[in-house]
């Protein structure tokens, strides 16, 4: 199911923003004209990833608490201490609407 979360212009470039979609916490990241959506909770501890640093060149987000990095494209954990990935969600930009696909 596609759910509208915001307008494209409401997402600041190269930043993350947290949304709650069907009971899921999702970090939505805009890199230039691309938008990514991953689970907002670090798999190492219950820490919000949307508060972390975005690495634009690598397309990763870093947990601010312990430094684990996650791929925005696959959700894969790339650095310790996290050893498990986080879910990724398909994003559709339809005109000015940003939609996230949740099952």
Could you give the 3-state DSSP secondary structure of residue 82? coil
CA atoms within 13 A on the CB side of 74: 8
pLDDT at residue 103 in the model: 83
The four Cα atoms 23, 81, 28, 92 give a dihedral, to 10 degrees, of -90
Question: Any idea what the CATH number is for the domain that residue 20 is in?
Answer: 2.102.10.10
For residues 103 and 90, is the Cβ–Cβ distance under 8 A? no
| Mean pLDDT (10-residue bins), the chain, 103 residues | 96 97 96 97 96 97 97 98 97 97 91
Domain that holds residue 53: 2-101
Q: What is the domain count for the chain?
A: 1
Q: Using the Cα atoms of residue 45, residue 47, residue 50 and residue 51 in order, give the sign of their dihedral.
A: negative
């Amino acid at each position: 199911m596609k759910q509208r979360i915001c307008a494209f212009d409401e997402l600041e470039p190269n930043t993350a923003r947290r949304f709650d979609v069907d009971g899921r916490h999702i970090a939505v990241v805009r890199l230039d004209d691309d938008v990514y959506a991953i689970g907002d909770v670090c798999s190492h501890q219950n820490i919000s990833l949307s508060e972390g640093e975005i690495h634009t060149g690598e397309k990763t987000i870093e947990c601010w608490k312990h430094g684990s990095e996650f791929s925005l494209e696959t959700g894969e954990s790339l650095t310790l201490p996290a050893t498990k990935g986080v879910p990724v969600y398909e994003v559709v930009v339809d005109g000015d609407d940003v939609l996230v696909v949740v099952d």
